[in-house]
Homo-oligomer: A and B are copies of this chain.
Amino acid sequence: MLDSQMKIGLDAVEETLTTVIDSDVETLFDASRHIISSGGKRVRPRVILLAYLAAGGEMITDAVDAAAAVELVHTATLVHDDINDHSALRRGQASVHKQWGRTFALLTGDYMFAKVYEMMSPYGVECNKIMSSAAVTLVEGETLQAAAAKKGEMDRETYKQVIERKTASLFSAGARMGAVIAGADDELKEALTTYGHYLGVTFQIVDDILDLIGDPEEMGKPAGLDMAQNRGVGMTVNGSNGHTAVLEAPAVAADPIEAMMAKLRSSGAVDIARAEADRMAQRAYDALENVPPSPARDELSRLVDMVLDRKK
């Protein structure tokens, strides 16, 4: 029953993502289609659909546009990130920036964000306050990260702020909107919001670990990319600082980034980050204690397992 509902929901999200991008402006259509059809884990839509069901929602199609919108916000930020990071690859294929150039990548991100706003508008005031507030917070997180990268320093407190704002904000907003659309009471909304928050934090820590030790082929992007750009977990361990360390790497090293990664792997940074991910995951599990038992709640719990165990 849950499986079939989720299949209906996720298929509809996919359908919505491909049909909502209907611009008669060729570049916007092509570039948006390109990034959307390149896959992605669709973990955010899964969160909102499951939260909706766990909160007692019975018409999963009611949450589909919001679920697609959450994925589209995320996709828009990827398109803009790739401009700032000069990334040529995204999800194993050319980034929009690489294929269409900076101007059109910037406009494609803007377009997708405007479409999100358009998709969300029928949901009314409460959902739109949640989503817009998450969008503001997300941009703040990206900016904190860029500012820290520019200075070449990111301490643990900044790292925490960055991942809470740039990643957890959208996960918690999605979970909360699922609850709102299902008509949940305040207590249940809070429980699912908290769940989403800690799932998001866990997700980002694991993401940053994978940047260090993941298989580049499976990841669809070069390893060490985030670290090379002064982001992520490598910078936050024991005051070590990726940028400085890269600069300090012996000039004879063939590949200073690889040298830095090896150093971080052996420094225990990954183990420390992994322990932090486990702690954050536990808080997500704990939040589910305040959600009535149901197959959807069990699946939200398994989603935490999946996020912890993912390899790409």
Q: A residues bordering B, Cβ < 8 Å?
A: 23-28, 80, 83-84, 102-104, 106-107, 109-111, 113-115, 117-118, 120-122, 124-125, 128-129, 131-133, 135-136, 138-140, 142-144, 146-147, 150
Give min CB distance, A113 to chain B, whole Å. 6
Give min CB distance, A180 to chain B, whole Å. 13
Given contacts A84-B102, A124-B124, A125-B124, contact A136 B118 (CB under 8 A): yes
In the complex, 21 of the A-B residue pairs with CB atoms within 8 angstroms, ordered by the A residue number, are A25-B143, A25-B147, A26-B147, A27-B147, A28-B143, A80-B107, A80-B110, A84-B102, A84-B103, A107-B142, A107-B146, A110-B113, A113-B114, A114-B132, A114-B136, A118-B133, A118-B135, A120-B132, A121-B125, A121-B128, A124-B124
| Max chain B Cβ within 10 angstroms of own Cβ: one of A28, A120, A132 | A132
* Contacts beyond the supplied A110-B139, A111-B136, A114-B135: 16 A-B pairs with Cβ under 8 Å: A23-B140, A25-B147, A80-B107, A84-B106, A84-B107, A104-B146, A107-B146, A110-B142, A114-B139, A118-B132, A118-B133, A118-B135, A121-B128, A121-B131, A121-B132, A124-B125
Asked whether, in the complex, the Cβ of A113 is within 8 Å of the Cβ of B111, the reply is no
Given contacts A25-B147, A117-B128, A118-B136, contact A83 B106 (CB under 8 A): yes
CA A105 – CA B80 in complex, angstroms?
A: 11
CA A121 – CA B129 in complex, angstroms?
A: 6
Give min CB distance, A122 to chain B, whole Å. 6
CB < 8 Å neighbour of A25 from B103, B104, B144, B150: B144
Give min CB distance, A217 to chain B, whole Å. 29
Asked whether, in the complex, the Cβ of A140 is within 8 Å of the Cβ of B111, the reply is yes
Given contacts A110-B139, A111-B139, contact A122 B129 (CB under 8 A): yes
A115, closest chain B residue (CB): B136
